[in-house]
Amino acid sequence: MSEAQQRLVPLTADEEALVRVFGRALLTVPRALDADLLDGPGLSLSEYTALMHLSEAPGRRLRMSDLATACAVSISGMTRIVNRLEERAFLRRERCLADGRAWNAVLTDTGLLRLRQAWPTHLASVRRHILDHLRALDLPALTAALQGIAAEMPCPHPHRLRGEA
């Protein structure tokens, strides 16, 4: 059977159920994590994610385009997130020394403290909304399967998210 023919084989009931619930989970889980962070420490999930990536970066700094890629958002979306975080003194922008046209986002001590304060809320939320439902599963096998899915659909470059070349 050719690959094209194989793609036309109807889904089994189990496959259809998986595809539908997977799609729903992709929409509802981030919303639940976001709501918990907003209700608790007052950060959105996108803000938390940006702070997390900066905390893990050398010198707690990333080029804005690299931060956008790490967070899987457009550059304009990352600019809005960074603006909100900068207003709260959680990060600052600095010119990139290697490329004077680019800007770095730099996590401040205040931002690192806020991330540390938000971490318990995020951890509890991740456990409640995701991990508690997966206890009976082989997590390394599930992780490998999801990595395979993600590898086939890498996040586009941030410029492509905006429709630019």
Q: Is residue 128 part of a domain?
A: no
Is-contact 33 126, C-beta < 8 A?
yes
| Cα–Cα distance measured from residue 157 to residue 65, given in angstroms and rounded to the nearest whole number | 9
Q: What is the pLDDT of residues 89-119, one digit of tens each?
A: 999 999 998 887 899 999 999 999 999 999 9
Q: Is 144 domain-assigned?
A: yes
SS3 73: coil
The residue range of the domain holding 115 is 16-122+138-161
Please compute Rg for the chain using Cα positions.
19
CA max distance for the chain: 59
Q: For every one of its 165 residues, what pLDDT tens digit does the chain have, with 9 covering 90 and above?
A: 677 777 788 999 999 999 999 999 999 999 999 999 999 999 999 999 999 999 999 999 999 999 999 999 999 999 999 999 999 999 999 999 888 789 999 999 999 999 999 999 999 999 999 999 998 899 999 999 999 988 887 665 544 444 443
| 35 lies in some domain | yes
Look at residue 62 and give its three-state secondary structure. Answer: strand
Residue 46 lies in a domain: yes
Q: Is residue 8 part of a domain?
A: no
- Kindly report the CATH number assigned to the domain that includes residue 49: 1.10.10.10
Q: Number of folded domains in the chain?
A: 1
